[in-house]
Amino acid sequence: MSLDFCKRTPKVELHAHLNGSISRETIEKLAMKKNPELYKDLRICFDKGKAETLDNVFQMFKLIHQISDNTEAIYTIAYDVIHEFSADNVKYLELRSTPRDVPSSGMTKSSYIEAILKAIEDCHKENLDIVVKFLLAIDRRNDLSVAKETVDLAERYSRLSGGTVVGIDLSGDPTVGDACTLVPILRDAKFRGLKLALHLAEVPAVEETEEVLKILPDRIGHGTCLHPNAGGSQGLVDTVLQHRIPLELCLTSNVICQTVAHVDNHHFKYWYDQGHPCAICTDDKGVFSTSLSEEYCLAAETFGLTRKDIWTLSYNCIDMIFAEEAVKQDLKSKWNSVKSYEL
């Protein structure tokens, strides 16, 4: 499969953490301005192959958060990330990010969210050919009161942004905290009309996954350890299949974080072969030095997918997006216009 074909194929990105998607160029721009020493540390981390465990990756987020500690930086990251996805022929993007208060710079959770919304709006004004939606992330380390604040903010900004904020993500180091404690507020978020894209079973956690699955999230991030062969259970697999809950699958991320031993063993194959809705995603394109086109190419080469399979895989993601029917129809016609001469 040629990378070029994957680049030309229009794509949907459904699982991209803002601060993990930051490119080297943006890091350089922001870190050099702030503190050249920090830039040295970040460059070492970013050299391909350096991020090689889940733990290592979460250390990198701590470094990145040191440069994204003010609204100007958040705006720049969001603006650059949207342009980078657009240059990779991503036509629809759902960004997710955890709002932070940083008293020393005057950044509040509200101004954090507004900086991202302004970047989305400015890209739209430039007529960039990409629709961008935004999910507010709850870090699983947080307690119920922080999670409630995030859900309140999501509800408020969903209204104020005219539907750009669409829902809630649950993420954070999967080896820390217990998502069961957050179930009541996640349930409430769903009741309030927010969409739920939740990280689940990134590492083995049968009881926690069972509890969270009872909410019937709109999408699952990773789902690496749902299957009994990966430390999950048949019950988990059956629930996901029965409710056809789409999976956001991030091949390079799982291999680097060592939650999947080798890309050949990636659970994409199991779910894809069942005809289950699967979206190929990048997770953190900056941290993992990848792009959505490269992830499609990797899936094609590993699992023997044809050009038609790739196009269909990408097309089917349209039905998994958190946007209104008119956006879906618009995207489908864009895909169909390429299909006629590409396949």
List the catalytic residues: 202
Could you give the dihedral angle defined by the CA atoms of residues 63, 67, 69 and 71, in that order, rounded to the nearest 10 degrees? Answer: -150
Q: Give the residue with the Cβ less far from ligand 6MZ, 253 or 289.
A: 253
How many other C-beta atoms lie within 10 A of the C-beta of residue 195? 21
Q: Report the residue from 60, 119, 257, 323 that binds ligand 6MZ according to the rule CB under 6 A.
A: 257
Which residue in 204, 270, 280 sits closest to 240, CA to CA? 270
Q: Where are the alpha helices (DSSP H) in the chain?
A: 3-8, 24-34, 36-46, 54-67, 71-87, 109-125, 144-160, 183-191, 206-213, 234-242, 251-256, 268-273, 292-303, 307-316, 325-342
The two structure tokens encoding residue 22: 């930051």
How far is residue 334 CA from its own chain's centroid?
23
Q: Give the residue with the Cβ less far from ligand 6MZ, 57 or 132.
A: 57
How many other C-beta atoms lie within 10 A of the C-beta of residue 226? 30
Residue with tokens 């750009």: 164
List binders of ligand 6MZ among 280-339 (CB under 6 A): 283-284
Regarding 94 and contact with ligand 6MZ (CB under 6 A), the answer is no
Regarding 98 and contact with ligand 6MZ (CB under 6 A), the answer is yes
CB of 243 to ligand 6MZ, least distance (A): 22
List binders of ligand 6MZ among 133-152 (CB under 6 A): 137, 139
CB of 297 to ligand 6MZ, least distance (A): 20
The two structure tokens encoding residue 154: 């999501």
Q: Give the residue with the Cβ less far from ligand 6MZ, 172 or 223.
A: 172
The full length of the chain comes to: 343
Q: Report the residue from 26, 171, 252, 289 that binds ligand 6MZ according to the rule CB under 6 A.
A: 171
List the x/- string, 54-93, binding to ligand 6MZ by CB under 6 A.
---x---x--------------------------------
Q: Give the residue with the Cβ less far from ligand 6MZ, 142 or 161.
A: 142
Q: Report the residue from 253, 289, 291, 314 that binds ligand 6MZ according to the rule CB under 6 A.
A: 253
Q: Report the residue from 1, 9, 20, 323 that binds ligand 6MZ according to the rule CB under 6 A.
A: 20
The two structure tokens encoding residue 175: 């080896």
Do residues 120 and 162 touch, judged by C-beta distance below 8 A?
no
Return d(Cα 279, Cα 315) in angstroms, integer. 10
Q: Report the residue from 17, 91, 266, 285 that binds ligand 6MZ according to the rule CB under 6 A.
A: 17
State the residues that interact with ligand 6MZ by CB under 6 A.
Answer: 17-20, 57, 61, 97-98, 137, 139, 171-172, 174, 199, 202, 253, 257, 283-284
